[in-house]
Amino acid sequence: MRSNVVTDPEEAVKQASAHLYEALTHHYGPLDLAAHQPIVRAISEYGQRCREHDEVGQEVASRHVYEALTHHFGPRDLAANDPVVRALAEYGEACRRAGVRKS
């Protein structure tokens, strides 16, 4: 578990995003995660639905993340203690706390 407490919600989202990237690269090796990649789009969708507190949208987006992961990396059993799952949960929670970005 990480001990660094971040009080700024947007900074917490950035930190959680970095943790998610670290978990993905640690498990899958170096990744080219450009904005057009399905996994990046799915994670972005998940983060947005979390920011909006859209529970149904979060479930749909979560499935999209799983589909993108399995399409890109092959079938996986993503248990609750999987580092990628834990990092994704941290990212979702940070997005929920941050809420919708104000323009």
pLDDT by residue for the chain (103 residues), tens digit each? 455 666 799 999 999 999 999 998 887 778 777 888 899 999 999 999 999 999 999 999 999 999 998 887 777 777 888 899 999 999 999 999 999 987 6
* pLDDT score of 7: 78
Q: Indicate whether 23 belongs to any domain.
A: no
- Cα–Cα distance between 40 and 3 in angstroms, integer? 27
| Residue 60: inside a domain | yes
Give the domain extent around 88.
34-103
Instruction: Check residue 93 and give its pLDDT.
Output: 98
pTM of the model: 0.85
Q: Is 15 in contact with 6 (CB distance < 8 Å)?
A: yes
Q: Has residue 50 been placed in a domain?
A: yes
| Residue 83 covered by a domain | yes
Cα-based distances in Å from 12 to 6, 90, 95, 97: 6, 9, 8, 9
Is the residue at 5 inside a domain?
no
> Is 100 a member of any domain?
yes
- Token pair, residue 42, equals 């799915």
**Number of structural domains the chain divides into:** 1
Which stretches of 1-103 are DSSP H helices?
Answer: 9-28, 38-51, 55-73, 83-98
- The pLDDT score that the predictor gives to residue 64 is 96
Asked whether residue 76 is assigned to any structural domain, the reply reads yes
